[in-house]
């Protein structure tokens, strides 16, 4: 008898789960209340990376004379930028819709909520509702922007990332509250487009998931690009002023005031659980998300939760692979994916990417490690393309098994996958060293950094031997 899988949410977790279910012979119904592709394709990953390309070009043009090229004044056409962004999104969303149709998936527009563990109610935009009964359910409703608990967040000009993506003009002064990935990506994008950008943190650290050696170096690059970063600001509130907006807060030196035309709230994301009526199905959850097991099953046998809604790791590619794992569990197929090794890419200038253990985590967990770094300034390809900033850092255990790879530099988001494969397959320094890396490429920097763990890097000066003090 054919299984009927009902997927609630059409983002990168939900639509991938739906397609995998159809591939394995299940009847699949996908319920999406807004747009196929979810936040990632419509309001996150894809539109921001499209804007990132604009910023990348503007950064190149700012020193284009280094390449022996002279250009006139640069003009920004916001309408054209928005048109291109929207077209990229439309093309990708349209492609996914065609894939769903080609796989025979029944797509329903509406909001789903549980009636029981076997039945959901779907409410359409016009208020019409009906019920669907399935064999198994996959909750993939994603997350939404968290709104910080201080005054002024509802003032005109105070926006989340979703609203900021629809900008009609470049804000002269943009204040960003928060120090996570979204904050830093928008800071780089709008700084390149001419905004005076200020980033405010309530804590003393930003990009917490990144190895601190990278964030220390990246903090210096922010200053070079004119982005002001202020840490440890307490009692923040947003106020209306004669000239627009301002963010007020307290520091050890007293009260501070940061004027702005727009304020971006970027203080994290929260799982979309409200409205699912999980109680009717008996599904357990906390503020962090829906509680799941090894195969992303909830405490109710036929209900699974994948992606941001389970709060494990809020990355689109993690959601997709969790969706595949959940479907394969439903269809009684052994899933061979590794959900512990998840690369994280941050599209800033220069790019940052990491996978596996950081040095900070190793110290905290008292894990004995070796580490090596190779600077992009010593890499021929990086110099040729004019992007020598940054380095690759590789961490291994004492037996030379690779445990972590962390990159700040050109095309870090492309280079990180060799590191992810190395960690997943428990490769050693010799495994990488014995694999020929093409020249001239950025990938050579990974090989050199890895060789450095054994003191065998060719294009890196050998470590200095400390001289013994005569007694």
CATH number of 350-454: 3.30.390.30
SS3 7: strand
User: Which of the following is catalytic: 295, 335, 439, 459?
Assistant: 439
439 given a catalytic annotation: yes
> Which residue from 272, 235, 242 is spatially nearest to 38, judged by alpha carbons?
272
218 CB neighbour count, 10 Å cutoff: 22
Confidence class of residue 462 from pLDDT cuts 50, 70 and 90? Answer: confident
In the Cβ-directed half-sphere of 196, how many Cα atoms lie within 13 Å?
A: 6
Alpha carbon distance 408, 23 (integer Å):
38
Q: Is it true that domain 158-267 has CATH number 3.40.140.10?
A: no
Alpha carbon distance 138, 305 (integer Å):
6
Residues 216-266 pLDDT 10s = 999 999 999 999 999 999 999 999 999 899 999 999 889 999 999 999 999
Alpha carbon distance 90, 74 (integer Å):
28
Q: Report the CATH superfamily, name and number, of domain 4-145+270-330.
A: FAD/NAD(P)-binding domain (3.50.50.60)
Chain mean position to CA 263: 21
Distances (CA, A) of 157 to 85, 160, 183, 436: 22, 10, 17, 53
The yes-or-no answer to whether 158-267 and 350-454 have a common fold is: no
Residues 166-218 pLDDT 10s = 999 999 999 999 999 999 999 999 999 999 999 999 999 999 999 999 999 99
Position 467 scores a pLDDT of 55
Confidence class of residue 469 from pLDDT cuts 50, 70 and 90? Answer: very low
Task: Please say if the pLDDT value at position 318 is more than 80.
Answer: yes
Task: Please say if the pLDDT value at position 471 is more than 50.
Answer: no
Task: With 0.85 as the threshold, say if the pTM is over it.
Answer: yes
Delimit the domains of the chain by residue range: 4-145+270-330, 158-267, 350-454
How long is the chain? 471
């Amino acid at each position: 008898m054919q299984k009927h899988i009902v997927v609630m949410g059409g983002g990168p977790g939900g639509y991938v789960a739906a397609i995998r279910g159809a591939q394995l012979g299940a009847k699949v119904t996908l319920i999406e209340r807004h747009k196929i592709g979810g936040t990632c394709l419509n309001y996150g990953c894809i539109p921001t990376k499209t804007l990132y390309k604009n910023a990348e070009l503007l950064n190149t043009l700012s020193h284009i004379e280094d390449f022996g090229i002279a250009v006139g004044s640069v003009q920004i056409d916001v309408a054209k930028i928005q048109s291109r962004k929207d077209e990229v999104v439309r093309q990708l969303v349209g492609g996914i819709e065609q894939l769903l149709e080609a796989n025979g998936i029944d797509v329903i527009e509406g909001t789903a909520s549980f009636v029981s563990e076997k039945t959901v109610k779907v409410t359409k935009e016009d208020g019409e509702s009906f019920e669907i009964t399935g064999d198994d359910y996959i909750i993939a409703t994603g997350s939404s922007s968290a709104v910080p608990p201080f005054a002024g967040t509802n003032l005109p000009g105070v926006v989340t990332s979703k609203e900021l993506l629809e900008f009609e003009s470049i804000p002269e002064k943009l204040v960003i509250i928060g120090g996570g990935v979204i904050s830093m990506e928008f800071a780089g994008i709008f700084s390149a487009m001419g905004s005076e950008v200020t980033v405010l943190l309530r804590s003393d650290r930003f990009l917490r998931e990144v190895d601190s050696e990278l964030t220390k170096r990246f903090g210096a690059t922010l200053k070079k690009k004119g982005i002001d970063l202020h840490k440890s600001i307490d009692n923040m509130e947003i106020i209306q002023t004669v000239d627009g907006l301002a963010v007020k807060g307290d520091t050890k030196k007293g009260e501070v005031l940061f004027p702005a035309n727009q304020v971006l709230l970027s203080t994290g994301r929260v799982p979309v659980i409200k409205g699912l009526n999980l109680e009717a199905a008996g599904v357990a959850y906390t503020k962090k998300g829906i509680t799941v097991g090894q195969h992303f099953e909830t405490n109710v046998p036929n209900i699974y939760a994948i992606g941001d809604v389970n709060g494990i790791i809020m990355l689109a590619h993690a959601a997709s692979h969790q969706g595949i794992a959940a479907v394969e569990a439903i269809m009684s197929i052994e899933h061979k994916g590794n959900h512990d090794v998840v690369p994280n890419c941050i599209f800033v200038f220069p790019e940052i990417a990491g996978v596996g253990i950081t040095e900070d985590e190793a110290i905290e967990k008292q894990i004995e490690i070796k580490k090596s770094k190779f600077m992009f300034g010593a890499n021929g390809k990086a110099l040729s393309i004019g992007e020598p900033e940054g380095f690759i850092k590789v961490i291994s255990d004492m037996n030379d098994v690779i445990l972590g790879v962390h990159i700040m530099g050109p095309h870090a988001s492309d280079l990180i996958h060799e590191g992810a494969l190395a960690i997943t397959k428990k490769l050693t320094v010799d495994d990488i060293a014995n694999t020929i890396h093409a020249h001239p490429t950025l990938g050579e920097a990974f090989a050199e950094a890895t060789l450095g763990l054994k003191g065998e890097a060719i294009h890196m000066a050998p470590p200095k031997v400390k001289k013994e003090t005569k007694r």
